Amino acid sequence: MTDNPYQQNRGNKDASITNPHGRGEIPFVESGKVVPAGTDGPFLIGDAMTGGYGRGPDILHSCTIAVNPGEIAVIVGPNGAGKSTAMKAIFGMLNVRSGSVRLAGEDITALSPQDRVVKGMGFVPQVRNIFPSMTVEENLEMGAFIRRDEIKSTMEQVYHLFPILKDKRNQAAGELSGGQRQQVAVGRALMTKPKVLMLDEPTAGVSPIVMDELFDRIIEVSRTGIPILMVEQNARQALEIADRGYVLVQGRNAHTGTGKELLADPEVRRSFLGG
């Protein structure tokens, strides 16, 4: 890895279009708030997390996942590897027995999920990520539950990102297609004006075309200065847009590298990408 942006070959490393440090005019986040001055290293990190559910066995074993300012980090790995568990641990839905979670350099390991939302974490879980009987617009309003300020302009930004949601704003979210429901879920998370967005399988159950469209929208969000940490079962496509990739196996970090490095790694290819 180099610090010279011109030697990095992914589009969203271009500072002129991506605003990697979150300064300046960006739609979802107040100017200058994405990365506090003097914060080096990852924006969000689950560091050496070990833990499981309740009194059950450990699922995560010293698992480390991080996302840097302005980047997209992707977690891939077989079913049951602990990808969702790692996301839940970072979001505070699971007590880690050891390890820590830090956001912009601050230790937030002891915070509740709601307090993490207040700190700037947006999380779209893998399941039950919308209210199906509520309208699209009501879902977005629910997303803004922590806010006391005017939410209208954020809603317009979400509608700008996902125009179909504006057309369907008065329809029950449960009546929408799979891809549109995922847009509602992502839009709902954006309503809190998060400083970092976590997505667990945002393209689950959608067609390849819809997957490509969702990835384009996710890249668009990242270009507004919001770092993105996502789990993806479409490993190859996800690693293609990833600045950093993590392959998890049985709750452990098996392979870590840039998306490009992992795509080129013969062992990763053979074991996880189908050759």
Site for Mg ion contains 84 (CB under 5 A) = yes
- Residue span binding ligand ADP (CB under 6 A) among the ranges 33-41, 83-91, 204-212, 261-269: 83-91
Site for ligand ADP contains 80 (CB under 6 A) = yes
CA 28 – CA 187 distance, rounded (Å): 11
**Binding partner selected for residue 59 from Mg ion, ligand ADP, none, CB under the kind-specific 5 to 8 Å limit:** ligand ADP
Q: Which residues pair with 244 in a beta bridge?
A: 73
Closer CB to ligand ADP, 76 or 121, in the complex: 76
Largest CA distance in the chain: 51
Taking residues 115 to 144 in sequence order and writing x for each that binds Mg ion by CB under 5 A, - otherwise, the string is: -----------x------------------
**Which residues have a Cβ under 8 Å from the Cβ of 4 and sit 6 or more positions away?**
none
Site for ligand ADP contains 85 (CB under 6 A) = yes
Cβ count near 38 (within 10 Å): 7
Q: Copy the structure tokens of residue 159.
A: 């509608």
Taking residues 46 to 75 in sequence order and writing x for each that binds Mg ion by CB under 5 A, - otherwise, the string is: ------------------------------
Among 19, 68, 84, 109, binds ligand ADP (CB under 6 A): 84
Taking residues 16 to 55 in sequence order and writing x for each that binds ligand ADP by CB under 6 A, - otherwise, the string is: -------------------------------------x--
Number of residues that bind ligand ADP (CB under 6 A): 11
DSSP string covering 129-174: -S-TTSBHHHHHHHHTTT--S--HHHHHHHHHH-HHHHHTTTSBGG
| 164, 182 Cβ separation under 8 angstroms | no
Closer CB to ligand ADP, 19 or 84, in the complex: 84
| 82, 63 Cβ separation under 8 angstroms | yes
Closer CB to Mg ion, 83 or 244, in the complex: 83
Q: Copy the structure tokens of residue 55.
A: 């009194």
Among 83, 168, 188, 195, binds ligand ADP (CB under 6 A): 83
Among 56, 266, 274, 275, binds ligand ADP (CB under 6 A): 56
- Residue span binding ligand ADP (CB under 6 A) among the ranges 81-89, 129-137, 170-178, 264-272: 81-89
Q: Where are the alpha helices (DSSP H) in the chain?
A: 15-18, 83-91, 113-119, 136-143, 152-161, 163-167, 178-190, 208-223, 235-240, 259-264, 266-272
Closer CB to ligand ADP, 85 or 222, in the complex: 85
